[in-house]
Amino acid sequence: MQVLVTGGLGFIGSNFIRHILGKYPQYNVTNLDKITYAGNPENLRDIEKNKNYSFVKGDICDAKIVDKLVEGKDIVLNFAAETHVDRSIDDPKRFIRTDVDGTHTLLEASRKHNIKKFIQVSTDEVYGSIEKGSFTEESALQPNSPYSASKAGGDLIARSYNKTFGVPVIITRSSNNFGQYQYPEKLLPLFITNLLEGKKVPVYGDGLNVRDWLYVIDNCEAIDFIMHKGAIGEIYNIGADNEKTNIEITKLLLSELGKDESSIEYVKDRPGHDRRYSINSSKLRKLGWRPRFKFEQALKDTVKWYKNNQNWWKKIKSGEYKEYYRKHYY
């Protein structure tokens, strides 16, 4: 099986590649990554020399590179995306370029070369906020940030390429991922690393925004499951039913790291901050997938990973990695 993964040096993409290479020794994986600030070669340093793995530095918006790499592939999985809401508020255009134009470029090449499956990896944030109940795959898309709007745009283009051109698209929408190798701008790794550094953690507003927390390995296993057993043209929500408020998560981390509430700093809420995300993943569970990890243990394992890999995140937070990448990858 010839597999192209885009954005494979990012958080979810790198965990997925490691999962696939470990589970399917007969698969060959090509990783296309632009190496933006969140694309870290250290994430896959341990498998760089795997004979079934190859890396190509490039942009999914570059039609020439994409066309060359998609040719001969069986499956394309699109993890490449700009993903941080705060950054999308500062620079929406960059998100539209990658998440919409880049997805379109991949779909065009996939259409040309008749790939067997195109997996569009997306997010529950495309549905917007919901006060009660949970979104299903049939729910309307009501994104509230430039980030979620750009992901919704990519999803809709992918859907249209399936309906109009017959490109074998499947869309996955997962809830909030957490785990090892997550760039320390997101809530969990930012809070963990701040606390390890003896710093305060910035909690938006009243801290009562609700998210469903999904361990990244569970998400990777779900995407793998969908890649092999999902139906073409379908959308699958991937959730773990671990709804927690941000302040609950914060207090769990404080307890785990032996800190008290004096480490909390409440800050002004960001514009368009969704109050609650909640997705119904019964469609996928009826096919046979279940999350494998208990939230409490996964959280402990995540904290332990950041404790044991301080060199990884300290390079990032200090800015040291930027000079390293400039010399070695640009």
| Active-site residue (options: 59, 125, 221, 274) | 125
Asked if 277 is an active-site residue, the reply is: no
Distance CA 49, CA 41 (A): 13
What letters, b where the CB count within 10 A reaches 16 and e where it falls short, cover 50-59? bebbebeebb
- Extract the tokens encoding 308: 């044991």
pLDDT digits (tens, 9 = 90+) for 48-103: 999 999 999 999 999 999 999 999 999 999 999 988 888 899 999 999 999 999 99
Asked if 125 is an active-site residue, the reply is: yes
| Active-site residue (options: 33, 124, 218, 224) | 124
pLDDT at 327: 43
Q: Kindly indicate the confidence band of residue 325, based on its pLDDT and cuts at 50, 70 and 90.
A: very low
**Could you tell me the pTM of the whole model?**
0.94
| Tally of domains in the chain | 1
Containing domain of residue 292, as a range?
Answer: 2-329
| Active-site residue (options: 147, 215, 236, 277) | 147
Task: Please check the confidence at residue 189 and state whether its pLDDT lies above 70.
Answer: yes
CATH code (residue 217): 3.40.50.720
Tell me phi and psi for residue 3, to 5 degrees: -120, 135
DSSP states of 136-187: -TTSPP---SHHHHHHHHHHHHHHHHHHHH---EEEEEE-EEE-TT--TTSH
Asked if 124 is an active-site residue, the reply is: yes
Q: Confirm if 250 and 102 have CB atoms less than 8 A apart.
A: no
pLDDT digits (tens, 9 = 90+) for 232-260: 999 999 999 999 999 999 999 999 999 99
Distance CA 103, CA 225 (A): 22
